[in-house]
């Protein structure tokens, strides 16, 4: 089946630093990728939709200057958490839609756990 | 806006059937999904159903959709300890490419 990877799988950083998380579709091309955030024991909340070659679309309440998204190729989207604070600590999960398949397919990465000290 | 609700917890004995329920509010949902999340891991797509279907079966999994009541269920036959996880239902509604997730149901399978 289709594989989506994320790197790193976990990261610990100091408050005020920036962290970049990569999301890659390994065996398919994805014009659209999605970034979700999951707090402990809670559901996934969509943060933004990443579009290849154009600006990301952010959900209401998500600061685009704090969560920078770049979708430079059909297989890679990056999420950069700028000036991270402890409240940014969370589990970040990306998903990708195979451009050659139907709207119903969306494959999720394994997630990146971020801890900001 | 859309809203997806699930019960938080379900406990069953190994070998029994598990039924996880989900309700949603948006009548324009096109696809409905079931995902499994094991501790510390990402989401694994179990199955999905198109909104014009009533039922879909895939090995031990049976999905039932009652579109009139906006109710979705996932039945796991012969539940095993390896099925212990959090199960999320999600919907994708017309005009939106991302998914809206329920709060997740923690399934505990007792030996």
pLDDT digits (tens, 9 = 90+) for A63-116: 999 999 998 889 999 999 999 999 999 999 999 988 777 666 788 999 999 999
How many angstroms separate the CA atoms of A98 and A31, rounded?
A: 8
Q: Nearest residue on chain A to B49, judged by CA atoms?
A: A104
Contacts with B9 from chain A: Cβ below 8 Å: none
Of B44, B45, B97, the CB nearest to A32: B97
Contacts of A24 (CB under 8 A, 6+ apart): A4, A5, A6, A7, A75, A76
pLDDT digits (tens, 9 = 90+) for A11-39: 999 999 999 999 999 988 888 899 999 88
Of B45, B98, B103, the CB nearest to A46: B98
Q: Do B42 and A46 touch (CB under 8 A)?
A: no
């Amino acid at each position: 089946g289709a594989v989506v990877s994320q790197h790193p799988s976990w990261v610990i950083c100091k408050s005020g630093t920036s962290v970049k998380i990569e999301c890659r579709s390994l065996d398919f091309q994805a014009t659209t990728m999605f970034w979700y955030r999951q707090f402990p024991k809670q559901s996934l909340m969509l943060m933004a939709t990443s579009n290849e070659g154009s600006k990301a679309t952010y959900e209401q309440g998500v600061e685009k200057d704090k969560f920078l998204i770049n979708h430079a190729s059909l297989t890679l989207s990056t999420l950069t958490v700028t000036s991270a604070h402890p409240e940014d600590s969370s589990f970040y999960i990306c998903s990708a839609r195979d451009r050659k398949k139907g709207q119903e397919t969306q494959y999720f990465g394994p997630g990146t756990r971020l801890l900001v000290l | 806006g859309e809203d997806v609700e699930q019960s938080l917890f379900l406990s069953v004995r190994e070998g029994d059937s598990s039924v996880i329920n989900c309700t949603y509010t948006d009548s324009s949902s096109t696809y409905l999904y079931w995902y499994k999340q094991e501790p510390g891991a990402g989401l694994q797509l179990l199955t999905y159903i198109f909104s014009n279907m009533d039922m879909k079966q895939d090995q031990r999994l049976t999905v039932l959709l009652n579109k009139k009541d906006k109710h979705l269920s996932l039945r796991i036959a012969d539940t095993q300890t390896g099925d212990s996880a959090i199960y999320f239902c999600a919907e994708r509604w017309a005009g939106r490419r991302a998914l809206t997730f329920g709060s997740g149901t923690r399934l505990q399978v007792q030996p």
